[in-house]
Amino acid sequence: MRVVVVGASGNAGTALLRRLRADDDHRVVGVARRIPGGSEYSDMVWHPCDIGAPDAVGTLTDIFRGADAVVHLGWQIQPSHDRDVLRRTNVEGSRAVVDAAIQAGVGALVAASSVGVYAPGPKDHRVGEDWPATGVAASSYSRDKVALEGLLDAAEDRLRVVRLRPGLIFQRDAGTEIARYFLGPLVPVRLLRFGRVPVIPAHPRLRLQAVHADDVADAYVRALTSDARGAYNIAADPVLTPELAAELFHGRTIPIPAAVLRAAAAATWHARLQPVDAGWVALALSAPLMDTTRAATELGWRPEVDASEALRELAAGMSHRAHAGSAPLSGGASSPGRLGGLLRGRLPGTGNPY
């Protein structure tokens, strides 16, 4: 089976390559804006492509031709202060991937959606894939995921389309990336080496789901190698709460009103002190808890790593500056979001790390 992975050098993409290359049944082609180095990306065919470029459809069509399936993981979270750059990749780039898959006659397109595509929902019970996929208006990430799924909806009569909707995706090698993209240079992540977070903000709606990257990769492979269609929720237990985090990291929770969380995120983001805007707080407070029954029954998917262990692994990766040899997962000390970058005037939420 010839599989083309777009956005193959990111968090989920790196895990998927690891999974696919362990199976001799797959011939894997990677597509990335910048070709990665490092042993985890060697011994396979790579094509450079900026999927948001005006000529991307033609370039991608040539790459996709003869492929049995395409996995679309290409997505940008940073630079958060340049909305046009994000939309260029996330929406227009996704449009190019979908159009090229159709023009190349690809049999299946498996795409990375997210829990972020859902409308605000419950935190005390779980929803299935039929929950409205209309997003959280305050979150640009959510709005872009809604736009992506609209493109997938329009393509479903032309090829087999699967969209996975995972929660937060954790693995050790994403430690530096996630710290750069979501925490910024002023959070002392090295202190996580001691396994302690003294104070953890708490709110009743800060209840989130996560999954290990290797388990997400397994879900992608199951979707590729079956006749699955439609959407699948992907998440592991237990639900991550401030109370659970306090137990895991020997800290204590401090109740904080939602308005204060949003205002603090907005103020520090506008001041270029950290890289995420208040939309991420709105999304965290609004995203529903997902039921993964469909993935279990139709794909035979069940996570091997629970969410607590995945969080511990990510924390260890953050504290030890774990990274991989690609631009998204880079350990570069002068990157935006790292202290070295800040000292060189590269502010959080600026620059293109992909």
Q: In the chain, which ranges are E strands?
A: 2-6, 27-32, 45-48, 69-72, 108-112, 126-127, 160-166, 168-170, 199-202, 208-212, 230-234, 236-240, 252-255, 289-290
- DSSP-derived letter for residue 302 is -
- pLDDT number for residue 251: 96
- The rounded radius of gyration (Å) of the Cα atoms in the chain is 19
pTM of the predicted model as reported, rounded to 2 decimal places: 0.97
Cβ atoms of residues 164 and 228 within 8 Å: no
For residue 161, how many other CB atoms are within 10 A of its CB? 23
For residue 17, CA distances in Å to 5, 97, 108, 157, 329 come to 8, 19, 18, 28, 14
- pLDDT number for residue 23: 83
Which domains does the chain show, CATH number per domain? Answer: 2-168+210-235 (3.40.50.720), 173-209+239-287+305-337 (no CATH)
Q: How far apart are CA 159 and CA 2, in angstroms?
A: 16
> What DSSP assignment string belongs to 123-150?
SSSEE-TTS-----TT-HHHHHHHHHHH
- pLDDT number for residue 22: 85
- pLDDT number for residue 21: 86
Q: Which residue type sits at 73?
A: L
Angle between helices 278-286 and 140-155 (to 10 degrees): 60
- pLDDT number for residue 62: 98
- pLDDT number for residue 24: 78
Using CA of residue 97, residue 99, residue 100, residue 106, what is the dihedral sign? Answer: positive
Cβ atoms of residues 72 and 49 within 8 Å: no
- Residue by residue, pLDDT tens for the chain (354 residues) are 999 999 999 999 999 999 998 887 889 999 999 999 988 899 899 999 999 999 999 999 999 999 999 999 999 999 999 999 999 999 999 999 999 999 999 999 999 999 999 999 999 999 999 999 999 999 999 999 999 999 999 999 999 999 999 999 999 999 999 999 999 999 999 989 999 999 999 999 999 999 999 999 999 999 999 999 999 999 999 999 999 999 999 999 999 999 999 999 999 999 999 999 999 999 999 999 999 999 999 999 999 999 999 999 999 999 999 999 999 999 999 999 999 999 999 999 999 998
- pLDDT number for residue 303: 98
- pLDDT number for residue 37: 92
Cβ atoms of residues 336 and 65 within 8 Å: no
- pLDDT number for residue 296: 98
The residues, any chain, with a CB within 8 Å of residue 84's CB and separated by 6 or more, are none
For residue 70, CA distances in Å to 111, 291, 293 come to 8, 26, 25
**Which of left, alpha, beta for 230 (phi over 0: left; psi -120 to 50: alpha)?**
left
Letter string b/e over residues 207-238, b meaning 16 or more CB atoms within 10 A of that residue's CB? bbbbbbbbbbbbbbbbbbbeebeebbbbbbee
Closest CA to 109 of 211, 13, 230: 230
- pLDDT number for residue 68: 97
- pLDDT number for residue 38: 86
Strands 230-234, 252-255: pairing kind: unpaired
The residues, any chain, with a CB within 8 Å of residue 150's CB and separated by 6 or more, are none
> Cα angle at 142 between 75 and 77, to 5 degrees?
35
- pLDDT number for residue 260: 98
